[in-house]
Structure 1
Amino acid sequence: MSPAEQLTAKSTKGLPKTAWLIICLSVLLIVGRTILWHVYFDPTDKRDQKFIENREAVTGMHCANDRSRWATVATLVENNTFVIDDVDRRRGKLGNWGTIDKVYHSDRKGREHFYSSKPPLYTTIVAIQYWLLKQVTGLNIFEAPMLTIKILTFINQGLVFALILILLARIGHQEITNNHLYYLYLTALSFGTFLSTFAVSLNNHLPAALFSLLAVLECRRISLQPHNHPARFALIGFYCAMTVTFELPSLAFLCLVGIWLLTISIRKTIFFGVPAIAVVAFLYLGINYLAHDSWRPPYTHRSDGKVLEVLSLEDGDSLVAGILPDNLDLLTESMPGMGNYRVEEHPSQGRWRIFDYSNNVRYALVRKGTTYELRDWDNWYDYEVAGRKSYWLPGQAEGVDLGERSRSKYLLHLTVGHHGFFSLTPIWIFGLLGILLAFRAQHAFWTPLSRITLSITLILFLFYVMRPLQDRNYGGVASGFRWMFWIVPLYALHLPRGLNAVSKSFFLTVLFIIAVAISIYSAHYAFLNPWQNPWPY
């Protein structure tokens, strides 16, 4: 029987009842965790005191990260804008909608506003769902935030996790030879990954994991079937591009999969795969432009823009003192002539914010030795509004957000340390074994996938280790290193091969059972709120 015939024959077999039972139990646990959040409070936890004492209404949101997304969802439907000024100010009996994950910049009319720092494509998709939910049920996210948010969270996270599980369960059923081992495999995926942990909070990691899995499964069909419809290449392009919209570093995944497809069919890849990518890119960038009047996502606006003018030390000192140098009025091409303006002190030495009231334009003034540089304003994370400073300014961040100074120490903790991909969920050590075994298999699908998975793993570790200090923060306060969750399905696909190998050894099988137990503990340590530090931290 050919590989294609084997694939077709095994795919027609349904999952065993026990497999469905495990999947259903996992989803029911997610439903329970979703319901329990903000029902049970820990009187010894200071974060819960504001709810216990009724100083703040409950909303169903977990932290600043998902509040940032929900603020956009709410303001899009209720205010028809991406501006979150009104929503961000809601506190107390209205619930806490405030977030540190926001940016501050001018709109098309020169008026400065707050916006979510999250890419707007996903929040727009969720906002459409909220609008439909509101039309059908009458639910209002401000009047009934907890019920509305929990329903939409389950749709966008719980159901996505269930679909990931079902797809992986089918692959495992085809690849694992021992029934007991298969159920252990499914238990590990259902309860021992951080995808289940984060399925109770609105985030980008689960959708990214789903689309990366869908892309790989389409690659599987193309690799094992001699004749493929061009639509499959378009689907892969679409899935890979969608993965990038949720996790920008997955651009490397898109490129590697693209190279793989080129080895199968150059014509179909170029004429069907590339246009699908272009459609997603147009949607992603177009909605971003609609939201921010910029083609670049918010997190790329983190530094000053181009130099507009270099001032002498005397002119720069004069500008800081509030006296406008005469030559600035002549800069009609690179900047409008300054009139009435204010100079704002900055926590960074040798740096000032300047706002020109005459033209509603903000500038950055930076001292460089014996000169000053007047720069175009492009740091959306740099603001102080009504006495409240940006969390991302020097001296404001705390804890894990301060960043890890040692790159070697950071790499250690990302791999086998307190945020370790392999230490918190050691089941992926056996997935890594499956990857290495697939290297030697000379299989049309598994061998290329193993190379891509290992390459992506190395690229991600290198990428995050080489980030600047402020970005070496383990993904912020989170129960796992969340920026690598989207490759969990890739490791899960290789796990059956690793399990088939270790099943020949009683000792290694016991080690895997221990690994499953540790993984389940890590995944459920943050049982009600995934936005807390891992247990070893």
Structure 2
Amino acid sequence: MTDDANRQLRLAIYVLLIAVSVGTIIGRIGQMSANHGKHPFMSANDRSRWATVRSLVDYGTFAIDDVIADRRWDSIDKVYHVGADGKRHYYSSKPPLMAVMLAGEYWVIKNGMGLSLGSYPFYVARIMLVITNVGLLLVMFASLIAMLERYGRSDWGRLFIFTTAAFGTFLTTFAITINNHLVAAVATMVAIDLGTRIWIDGKRDAWLFFGAGFAAAFAAANDLPALSLLGLLGLALLIKAPAKTLVAGVPGALLVAIASFGTTYWAHGSWKPPYAHRSDGPAIATLDVDAAAAELDQGEVPEPVRAKFAALDVQLSETPELQVREAGDRWVLDDPIVDRRWALQKVDNVIEVRTWDRWYDYADTYWRDGVKKGVDLGEQSRLTYLFHMLVGHHGVFSLTPIWILSVVGGVMLLRGDDRQWRDVTIMIATLTIVCVLFYTFRPLKDRNYGGVCSGFRWLFWLIPLWLVTLQPAADWCAKRRWACWLAALLLLISAASAAYPALNPWSHPWIYRYQEYLGWL
């Protein structure tokens, strides 16, 4: 066969694999339901995003109070703080950029088709999932094919890698639910595609730099650890072509940064995302310990406290609520009449009155100690956490052993003669190691394997990069029949893990379930 004929055949197989993958995903979206069919949303995570989308279009606000009044729409992934109207409201704890984009899509559906999320949640959600997630996968597949055709050295290797992308990773698993990880992974795929055209192929078109900057920043806006990709890729392009990077690449990244920070401020009145609001605000007054502490410990609001608030132009109601968090040391003053909350914290010999900035601390919060349960309690041992992250019940290599070949391929690239590919591999290895260490050394409350989900989702954005280092190993296997069979076995196990939670990716992996069955967890 001629090269052109081979290429045409490969393209036909790519299309066939895409059709099967996408068809399977659409079929799973068609079966989606949760809570015994009462709504189409599968977890607190995606329900939190959907609540914002509906609230923006149906009620014209980021506050989700009216939406979650129907308990079927409620979510533990929410925060509670003062809004632009001066009153406290519930908001999704998720970054609002994605919700704003999805709200635009929902607005078109609602006004063009007359379907609302309130009246027809299944229809609208399925339409939006097909448009959004299938559309994202098609973008990722297109970028991957472009890279395979540029850098692949064997037909078998190219098709093997594409089959892995279509069936052997958790990206297709999560394509049936709204989530930020798929978005970040697709943006990463585009960023590495455009970045290698510049770094490996020597292209200098301005649109490549703009696109790489935009895509890398968009990955970071949707998955914070991908900020490391933006930093390393930006540095690499700055070294390779400083002028083009500054003139075209930086504006692409800035456009995303403006959108990300702008929507955060629009939603919450703060430049900081919700997860950054977990501590007391600034001190606005001080109280004498001897004059206030004893009565505060008894759950009473003493006159000196009322006088201090009056001096701040705040007239407390007759019966504000006082919570004794730590006797003699910390109290929380909540006045539902004036709709405000304050922290009273003993510091040295005074009691500081601080503005309330603990957005996750509210009456029915799930995130308070003593309320959380299961994996959300956190893994006590960092070493155990690292083990399960890599080869345990949420393990990258135990659930999807195809990535073992990516490690092999990365070593081959590092030992190869092509310096530019060594640079790319070093960047991918650095990003992976930094991410793994970042999550390993998170505080206890964050060492929860991503909550109830079918894989270690916080590393999913790296999947396109691992597909890149898989290439040399796949090409090496292509020349050896036994190696092809071994690679196929690794892919089969990976595909089985990805297919196990086919109807709800917000469920524990099969290894975790089996260990529960054995009584090990």
| TM-score relative to the length of structure 2 | 0.90
Matched residue, 1:37: 32
Is structure 2 residue 265 aligned with structure 1 residue 270? no
How much has 1:201 moved relative to structure 2? 0.2
Q: Distance in 2 between matches of 1:390 and 1:17?
A: 52
Does 1:378 find its partner at 2:357? yes
Whether the aligned pair in 2 keeps the contact of 1:15 and 1:170 (CA below 8 Å) is no
* Conservation of the 8 A alpha-carbon contact between 1:66 and 1:203: yes
Higher helix share: 2
Asked whether the 8 Å contact 1:260–1:448 carries over to 2, the reply is no
Pairs within 5 Å for 1:314-353: 314=290, 315-320=292-297, 321-326=299-304, 329-330=307-308, 336-337=313-314, 339-340=316-317, 342-345=320-323, 351-353=330-332
1:397 aligns with 2:372: yes
Offset at residue 366 of structure 1 (A): 3.4
- Distance in 1 (CA, whole Å) between partners of 2:201 and 2:158 is 26
Deviations 1:177-205 (A, max 9, x none): 44344333322221110001000000011
Distance 1:329 1:367, change over 3 A: same
How many corresponding residue pairs? 505
How far off its partner does 1:89 sit?
Answer: 1.7
1:26 aligns with 2:26: no
Is 1:488 aligned with 2:463? yes
- Give runs of aligned pairs for residues 218-237 of structure 1, distance below 5 A: 218-226=194-202, 228-237=204-213
Conserved? CA contact 1:58–1:146, under 8 Å: no
Task: Describe the superposition over 1:367-391 as per-residue Cα deviations: whole angstroms up to 9, x where unpaired.
Answer: 568764432211100000xxxx100
CA shift for structure 1 position 239: 1.1
Residues 449/423 of structure 1: CA separation in 2 closer, same or farther (3 Å cut): same
Q: Could you tell me how far 1:449 is from its partner in structure 2? A: 1.8
Decide whether the 8 Å contact of 2:220 with 2:226 is kept in 1: yes
1:360 CA displacement:
4.1
Deviating more after overlay: 138-147 vs 371-380 = 371-380
**The 10-residue stretch of structure 1 (232-241 or 459-468) with the greater mean CA deviation from structure 2:** 232-241
Q: How does 1:132-531 map to 2 (within 5 A)?
A: 132-226=108-202, 228-314=204-290, 315-320=292-297, 321-326=299-304, 329-330=307-308, 336-337=313-314, 339-340=316-317, 342-345=320-323, 351-356=330-335, 360-367=339-346, 372-384=351-363, 389-443=364-418, 445-531=420-506
| 1:310, distance to aligned residue in structure 2 (A) | 4.9
Q: Percent identity?
A: 37
Where structure 1 has 5 or more consecutive residues not aligned to the other structure, the ranges are 1-8, 39-47, 52-56
Deviation at 1:241, TM superposition (A): 1.1
- The residue that corresponds to 2:44 in the other structure is 64
CA distance in 2, matches of 1:327, 1:61: 46
RMSD value, Cα: 2.5
**TM-superposed deviation, 1:171:** 2.5
Q: 1:196 to 1:376 in 2, by over 3 A?
A: same
| Cα deviation code 1:439-463 (max 9, x no counterpart) | 2335365222211111111111111
TM-score normalized by the length of structure 1:
0.88
Q: Is the 8 A contact 2:204 2:244 kept in 1?
A: no
How far apart, in 1, do the equivalents of 2:216 and 2:351 lie?
45
The structure-2 alpha-carbon separation of the partners of 1:508 and 1:356, relative to structure 1 and needing over 3 Å to count, comes to: same
Q: Counterpart of 2:283 in structure 1: which amino acid?
A: V
* SS of residue paired to 2:426: helix
User: SS of the residue aligned with 1:37?
Assistant: coil
- Using a 3 Å threshold, how does the CA distance of structure 1 residues 134 and 181 change in structure 2: closer, same or farther? same
Q: Is the 8 A contact 2:306 2:316 kept in 1?
A: no
| Corresponding letter in the other structure for 1:267 | A
Retained in 1: the 8 A contact 2:83–2:269? yes
Amino acid at match of 2:321: V
Structure 1 Cα separation of the partners of residues 483 and 150 of structure 2? 22
